[in-house]
Amino acid sequence: MAHDRSTVEAVIQHYFDGLYEGSAETIGAIFHPTADLRWLEKGELKILTVPDWLELIRKRPSAKAEGKPREDFIVTIDHSDASTAFIKVRCQLPPRYFTDYLIAMKLRDGWTIVSKSYRYDLRD
């Protein structure tokens, strides 16, 4: 699946779409294969590789298929130069409401997410 990855905003829109639709292919196309996800669980650092995350995405029903509401938006994009950006986003996969911190780099084939750290709240 080809994507227009000419801007950070385009990559983030694919990220939001992939999360909501539960598309491992969309997510995999915008994350570098060596990237990982990091979060705290009960005070302990947890790390998940992107390939393992994509397998989890493939196995779970999507928020879209379950008819869950969608709300996602970019909080901030901070470009440190023409090829590196820090992006803070908010998104939801109820009952989890996430704040994601993404690092993107402009590689030969366009912008790619190379790192993700996140936190979430559980709500009814």
Number of independent structural domains in the chain: 1
Cα 119 → chain centroid: 12
Asked whether residue 113 is domain-assigned, the answer is yes
Residue 2 has pLDDT above 50, yes or no: no
Query: What pLDDT was estimated at residue 34?
Result: 97
Mean pLDDT of the chain: 93
Asked whether residue 52 is domain-assigned, the answer is yes
Query: What pLDDT was estimated at residue 6?
Result: 67
- pTM of the full structure: 0.90
Lowest mean pLDDT among 6-10, 28-32, 55-59: 6-10
Query: What pLDDT was estimated at residue 1?
Result: 34
Asked whether residue 1 is domain-assigned, the answer is no
Asked whether residue 26 is domain-assigned, the answer is yes
Q: How far is CA 59 from CA 11, 18, 54, 68, in A?
A: 23, 14, 9, 17
- 102-120 average pLDDT score: 96
Asked whether residue 108 is domain-assigned, the answer is yes
**Distance (Å, whole) CA 119 – CA 32:** 21
Q: Which helix (H) or strand (E) holds 26?
A: helix 24-30
CATH number at residue 50: 3.10.450.50
For 31-45, b/e burial (b = at least 16 CB within 10 A) is bbeebbbebeeeeee
